[in-house]
Amino acid sequence: MKRILILCEGQSEETFVKRVLNPHLRQFDKVATPVILQTAREESGYKHKGGFAACEQIRCDVKRLPGDTNAICITTMLDYHGLPKGFPGKNTLQGATPYRRVAYLEQAFWADIGEPRFLPYLMLHEFEAFLFGDLNAVFEKVGSRITPREFGDLSRFSSPEEINDGEQTHPAARLQQHLPNFRKLSDGLTVVERIGLLRIRQKCPHFNEWLKKLESL
C-alpha cells in the first residue's frame, strides 16, 4: 500500500486518522500514518503554541518527515484557528471568505516547505467543526437537552467549516460554553464516527477536497 504521513494537531486528530481515515483510504490502496505535532494542544484545550518559536517547531516537524522516503505524500491536519505568529502567509493574509484565506495560507505553507510531496491541509477552523455537522449526535452522546439554537445563529454559516474563529465563538469555545462536560478525545471521536465520513464530507467542502486529493495519489 502507498504510505501517507499526516502531521496531526493532537491526539484527537491522530485517533481520527487511525479510526476513520485509514479504513476509508485502504479502499484506495493507501495507508496513513499519523505523527503528532510536538507543540500539540492538550486535550484540555490549552495550546503549547506561541509566536515565532512555535512556528519554527511546526516547520521543523514538517521538514523532518520527508526523511521517510517510503511515503508518497506528507500532509497535515492542523487547526487554522490559533496558528502562531510568523506562520507562512499569516502576516499578509488575503481573501474575502474562510475558504480563500485558508487556500492562501496553504499555498504559502507549501512554498515555505519546498517539498514536492508536501500537501498542506489546515482545518477550518479546527477539528471540532466536524461535530457541528450533526449537533444532535453530540447531544445524544452527552445526554444534553439544549437545542442547536443555543450555540448561536448557525444558519448564517453555509457549512460547519465557516463557523468563525473568534476567541469565544470558534467551534471548540461554543462546545465548552454550553457543554462543559464534553470531552474532545473520548466524546468527540465517538460522535464523529456516529456522524460518519460521508456526512462530514458533504458538510465540509475543504476537508472533502483534501480527502479527494489523498484518494487520487
Least-confidence region, from 71-80, 139-148, 182-191, 195-204: 139-148
* Residue whose C-alpha is closest to residue 164's, from 212, 121, 120, 125: 125
* Residue whose C-alpha is closest to residue 102's, from 14, 52, 164: 164
Q: How confident is the model at residue 53 (pLDDT cuts 50, 70, 90)?
A: low
Distance from C-alpha of 39 to C-alpha of 48, rounded to nearest angstrom: 5
Note if the pTM is more than 0.85. yes
Question: Mean per-residue pLDDT for 188-199?
Answer: 96
For 177, the grid coordinates are 460554553
What is the per-residue pLDDT for 54? 85
Q: Is the dihedral of CA 43, 8, 17, 103 positive or negative?
A: positive
| CA-CA-CA-CA dihedral for 193, 135, 156, 80, to nearest 10 | -50
- Residue 43, pLDDT > 50, answer no
Q: Who contacts 109 (Cβ-Cβ below 8 Å, separation ≥6)? A: 76, 87, 88, 89, 120, 122
- Residue 9, pLDDT > 60, answer yes
Query: What are the pLDDT digits (tens) for 113-136?
Result: 999 999 999 999 999 999 999 999
Domains annotated for the chain, with CATH where assigned, are 2-125+197-215 (3.40.50), 127-195 (no CATH)
- Residue 45, pLDDT > 60, answer no
Query: What are the pLDDT digits (tens) for 169-185?
Result: 999 999 999 999 999 89
* DSSP secondary structure, 124-175, as one string: SS-GGGGGGG-HHHHHHHHT----GGGG--GGG-SSGGGS---TTTSHHHHH
- Residue 12, pLDDT > 90, answer yes
Q: How confident is the model at residue 85 (pLDDT cuts 50, 70, 90)?
A: confident
Q: Is the dihedral of CA 133, 136, 139, 144 positive or negative?
A: positive
Percent of the chain with pLDDT over 70: 93
Distance from C-alpha of 120 to C-alpha of 173, rounded to nearest angstrom: 25
* Surface-to-core class of residue 199, CB atoms within 10 Å of its CB (0-12 exposed, 13-18 middle, 19+ buried): middle
What is the per-residue pLDDT for 120? 98
Q: How confident is the model at residue 103 (pLDDT cuts 50, 70, 90)?
A: very high
